[in-house]
Structure 1
Amino acid sequence: MKQARSFDELRALSGNWLSREALPAWIENGYDQRLELFHERLSFSAQPLSDLPRRLMVQCRQLYVLAQLTCRGMRDDRALIAQTWESVKRYFYRPALSHRWAFSIDPDGDVADPRCDTYTLAFLLFTLAWLYRVQPNQDYLDRVDEVLTLLDGPLAASSHGLIDAVPRPDGFLRQNPHMHLLEAFLELHESTGRADYLDRACALHALFSSRMLWRAQEALPELHDDDWQPARPDDNWYEPGHHFEWVWLLRRLSKATGIDVDQDVRLLLSRAIAEGIDAEGFAIERVGIHNQSAWNSRRLWGTCEYLKACAAEAEAAPSESEAWRSRANSALAAIHDHFLQTAYHGLWNDRLDADGSRLSADVPASSLYHLVLAIMECERVFGRVVPPSRPEPGRMRALFLDRDGVINVDTGYPRKPADITFVEGAMEAIQQAQTYGYRVVVVSNQSAIARAYATEAEVMQLHSWMAKQLEAQGAVVDAWYHCPFHHEAQNPVYLHPDHFDRKPNPGMILRAAQDLNIDLTRSQMIGDNPSDVEAARRAGVSGHLFTGGNLALFAREVLMPRPISEASK
């Protein structure tokens, strides 16, 4: 029997699994040093299945993983990213092909399948967006433009949308490539700020809402004909995982554009929640649209998408957040306790039957993309405190503040409101930052959690109370981040030798920069410990050591714009 754990502890366990087990396994065992590309699959003893073709889609997904976790501060894989991308271009980019990019290569590096595949190109665009985020380079955007000519040309369907590939494999249109193109265009917009990418995302949503979604049946068919009518209407199906994936993407689109997606989301969730989630919190594989026949086997990716949808709904509807948090808890427990439990740590069971027995014969690299996104989204929504109606402005600078000794008097592991006395000038300092156009973000080491003096829930409840007290005085903190990990943790869930979030490491600052679209080069950090200043330096932020007194007076010197003549000295 699994030991009872809180949702917060499950989040910590899953994050540690990702950083300490999964990433090392795939970089040490899953990377082909000869081709400088990732293997497609590993055995359950972590041996590469090296005789398989290498698909461009898998390389793109693995590059995304490296880029996401580099931006997040979990690892610094910029050198490996650059090396792998050069190999991707060397082996998959073939000027002799009219569409340039090959679908797959064989183990010797020769083209195995030259097909022009829409699903693969969606992931290429997605990865180019993340490569640009790691290292802005016009070459990435030039390659995006080259792919767009394929989407607008030979891959365009006769009645809007896209066919699956050239040459076309069959007479069906499918929602799946369009879903991942929506994801890619949202990432491209977030990485570059360019409105044309967002316009393409909106066009895909319009096609989805008006043509793909079978409203009468409250389902998203997997197969359509060339007029975007459900193909084989008596023998079509929907996949709950895709319903959940669309929910997550539609919520992201709504945040970026203000488009009302509530009706589409409610329709997607209605059948998927009722028919697509089993009693243990797993997403099942598929459901017949008319006959409701269910494939009760469970796929890892589908349950990951369910977790992401729960996070999206908790964020979109704060009044229902507890119910979605409870669902997310069940989904994360299913992932951690069943899919991630393998003899060789860092691997996963990709497919289980209805009784929980493993059906998969090996470990596909492609699933890591789903796991990383699910764990990161779970942490983003449930692992910090933000105001329920936080606005989404453009790229801004931020004032990062430590908590104990900066915002409140350090009384030694405060855990309840009675322990909090605000530092003189704290509220005024936050107000000043807002006046000067800064976001305000708290980043705090909280080893009290690891030392078992307080639970993570208690720390976040305290942050919620502090946020309300400050906001009542007109001092709004945009987000509160905390690191519960420590190398001498009494609670083994939070034991980590050198966690990337614990200052002087820059993880919390980098995470906030991703979550809140912060320009670190124009940001400031105030802390009362040299580790705060060092974390700021590592993140590329100007750090300032506060030794006591009135925080508003100190912050004014940090934040006040200097005259041009003085700033240029």
Structure 2
Amino acid sequence: MKTVKQIQNEARDWLFGAAAPLWSTTGVLEDGMFAEALHHDGSIMRGPRRLRVQARQIYSFCEIGRLGWDGPWRKIVEDALPAFVSRGVSEEGVFIHTYDDKGDVSNKSLDLYNQAFGLFALAHAGNALSKPELFALAGTVMDRIDADWARPEGGYWEGVLTPCPPYRQNPHMHMFEAATALYRFTNDPRWGAIAGALSLLFRSKFHDRATGAVTEYFDQSWNPLNDETGSIVEPGHCLEWAWLFGTNAKSQDEIDTSDGLSAFARRYGLCGRRGVAINEVSLDGAVINNNARLWPQTERLKAAADSFRRQNAIDSEQEIIAAYEGLAKYLVTDIAGLWHDKMKPDGTFLDEPAPASSFYHIVCGLSELLQLEI
């Protein structure tokens, strides 16, 4: 088995030597915006551009720059910001949904997921570029969300793209991620309070304490739906929440919550034969969807890195290596720097372009790995 040092070197070589050069050139469009996907022959997939992808790529290049990549990450982010800020925020003061293939706004439909990633991008760009005006814009967007989207049951209205019910935990997880980033970079107590409220919502409503898992779908009062969908668990989301709680813990309860989420995912959500985290199981551990997206592999790596950082345990070190080796399967492509997104139960991959949206997951996962001191 490889050592953590060895996989750190492999990860750095792939990220700095292949992925960042490819996505900073071919993956950047003529107008400075980002491509939605690249075909496996290295060509651009043309079409509508989602705001969430623009936001995720802004974060990704900010983070790659912070990690020490010596490429033009700063110019890439600065060139992407005008369309993101000027056209990406509507006259109503919140983030849009999509641009067309020319970069003009094509769909202003409201969605909480887009608001979360818009705020997340403003946090990282504001910090990386030392632009406090981006933090101020985040505050202005949050003013509208607080005024128009806050729900008396806790959390936020989710917009019109995914009508409720069911109500979902997932966009709230990303709102928590954005709020913790903004609090870390600004030390503004407002963002700390938002993160705290979302942490409490998770622990009081989303979290199934009997199993340690997080379910996906709820009624208006945040009770799990009383049908088969109410017991759906995505191991990747268990691991993502585990990392968020582990790295932002303010209490022992949050640490215990993190460890319980990881334990459930590792017990029921891993396919030993393929060495990967699968898409869906039920609360009793039965497999619902045995396919395996790329992103749960990065969340597994993040949760393992956090566990090692807090506990310095040999089983966490072994889990880091296993998680990375699972992720590495997706990164074996004809053109280095691309990836596969969907693994089928037989271990082969769906033949489709490499989605830019996955770069955020990969960068965040490899960042946690690369920052480990072993």
Shorter-chain TM band: over 0.9
* 1:257-281 CA-partner distances (Å, limit 9, x unpaired): 3454233123313321111011143
The aligned counterpart of 2:12 is: 15
- Which structure is larger by alpha-carbon Rg, 1 or 2? 1
Partners of 1:299 and 1:258 lie apart in 2 by: 32
State the secondary structure of the residue aligned to 1:31.
Answer: coil
Partners of 1:217 and 1:115 lie apart in 2 by: 36
Q: Could you tell me how far 1:290 is from its partner in structure 2? A: 5.1
Query: In structure 1, what residue type is equivalent to 2:323?
Result: A
1:364 aligned to 2:360? no
Q: Could you tell me how far 1:371 is from its partner in structure 2? A: 0.7
State the secondary structure of the residue aligned to 1:45.
Answer: coil
The aligned counterpart of 1:415 is: none
Q: 2:324 aligns with which of 325, 328, 332?
A: 332
Query: In structure 2, what residue type is equivalent to 1:327?
Result: E
State the secondary structure of the residue aligned to 1:355.
Answer: coil
> How many residues were matched structurally?
371
* 1:128-181 CA-partner distances (Å, limit 9, x unpaired): 111121122231122111211232122222311012214762322111111111
State the secondary structure of the residue aligned to 2:290.
Answer: strand
Q: Could you tell me how far 1:63 is from its partner in structure 2? A: 0.5
Q: Could you tell me how far 1:352 is from its partner in structure 2? A: 0.7
> Does the aligned pair in 1 maintain the 2:307–2:316 contact within 8 Å?
yes
Partners of 1:331 and 1:286 lie apart in 2 by: 17
1:343 aligned to 2:337? no
Q: Could you tell me how far 1:194 is from its partner in structure 2? A: 2.1
Greater mean alpha carbon deviation, residues 122-131 or residues 150-159: 150-159
The aligned counterpart of 1:429 is: none
Partners of 2:266 and 2:115 lie apart in 1 by: 31
Partners of 2:194 and 2:151 lie apart in 1 by: 15
State the secondary structure of the residue aligned to 2:171.
Answer: helix
1:60 aligned to 2:60? no
The aligned counterpart of 2:345 is: 354
Q: Could you tell me how far 1:64 is from its partner in structure 2? A: 0.6
Q: Which has the higher helix share?
A: 2
> Does the aligned pair in 1 maintain the 2:268–2:285 contact within 8 Å?
no
Query: In structure 2, what residue type is equivalent to 1:117?
Result: D
Q: Could you tell me how far 1:312 is from its partner in structure 2? A: 0.8
* 1:306-339 CA-partner distances (Å, limit 9, x unpaired): 0100111111223xx2101101101111212x10
Give the structure-1-normalised TM-score.
0.63
Q: 1:48 aligns with which of 38, 44, 47?
A: 44
Q: 1:79 aligns with which of 75, 79, 82?
A: 75
> Does the aligned pair in 2 maintain the 1:106–1:112 contact within 8 Å?
yes
The aligned counterpart of 2:257 is: 264
**Unaligned regions of 5+ residues in structure 1, if any?**
386-569
> Does the aligned pair in 2 maintain the 1:99–1:116 contact within 8 Å?
no
Q: 1:182 aligns with which of 176, 180, 183?
A: 176
Partners of 1:260 and 1:288 lie apart in 2 by: 24
Q: 2:221 aligns with which of 227, 230, 254?
A: 227
> Does the aligned pair in 2 maintain the 1:162–1:173 contact within 8 Å?
no
Q: 2:281 aligns with which of 273, 287, 292?
A: 287
Partners of 2:148 and 2:258 lie apart in 1 by: 32
State the secondary structure of the residue aligned to 2:305.
Answer: helix
> Does the aligned pair in 1 maintain the 2:239–2:299 contact within 8 Å?
yes
Q: 1:38 aligns with which of 34, 40, 47?
A: 34
Query: In structure 2, what residue type is equivalent to 1:282?
Result: V
Q: 2:314 aligns with which of 322, 325, 328?
A: 322
Partners of 1:326 and 1:168 lie apart in 2 by: 39
Q: Could you tell me how far 1:5 is from its partner in structure 2? A: 3.7
The aligned counterpart of 1:192 is: 186
1:244 aligned to 2:239? yes
* 1:197-219 CA-partner distances (Å, limit 9, x unpaired): 12211111011001111223432
> Does the aligned pair in 2 maintain the 1:253–1:259 contact within 8 Å?
no
> Does the aligned pair in 1 maintain the 2:51–2:98 contact within 8 Å?
yes
**Aligned alpha-carbon RMSD (Å):** 1.8
> Does the aligned pair in 1 maintain the 2:304–2:316 contact within 8 Å?
yes
Partners of 1:185 and 1:90 lie apart in 2 by: 22
State the secondary structure of the residue aligned to 2:13.
Answer: helix
Note closer, same or farther for the CA distance 1:263–1:71 as it changes in structure 2 (3 Å cut): closer
Q: 2:112 aligns with which of 114, 118, 122?
A: 118
Q: Could you tell me how far 1:299 is from its partner in structure 2? A: 1.1
1:201 aligned to 2:195? yes
Query: In structure 2, what residue type is equivalent to 1:263?
Result: D
The aligned counterpart of 1:509 is: none
* 1:50-100 CA-partner distances (Å, limit 9, x unpaired): 1x21011100110011111222221342122111101222432332xx244
State the secondary structure of the residue aligned to 1:112.
Answer: strand
State the secondary structure of the residue aligned to 1:116.
Answer: coil
Partners of 1:156 and 1:342 lie apart in 2 by: 44
The aligned counterpart of 1:277 is: 270
> Does the aligned pair in 2 maintain the 1:125–1:144 contact within 8 Å?
yes
Q: How does 1:450-469 map to 2 (within 5 A)?
A: none
Partners of 1:258 and 1:291 lie apart in 2 by: 28
Query: In structure 2, what residue type is equivalent to 1:324?
Result: S
The aligned counterpart of 1:408 is: none
Q: Could you tell me how far 1:245 is from its partner in structure 2? A: 0.4
Partners of 1:277 and 1:81 lie apart in 2 by: 36
Greater mean alpha carbon deviation, residues 116-125 or residues 351-360: 351-360
Greater mean alpha carbon deviation, residues 122-131 or residues 154-163: 154-163
> Does the aligned pair in 1 maintain the 2:126–2:133 contact within 8 Å?
no
Q: 2:124 aligns with which of 120, 125, 130?
A: 130
* 1:215-239 CA-partner distances (Å, limit 9, x unpaired): 2343211111110000144333110
Note closer, same or farther for the CA distance 1:187–1:235 as it changes in structure 2 (3 Å cut): closer
The aligned counterpart of 1:431 is: none
Give the structure-2-normalised TM-score.
0.94
The aligned counterpart of 2:207 is: 213
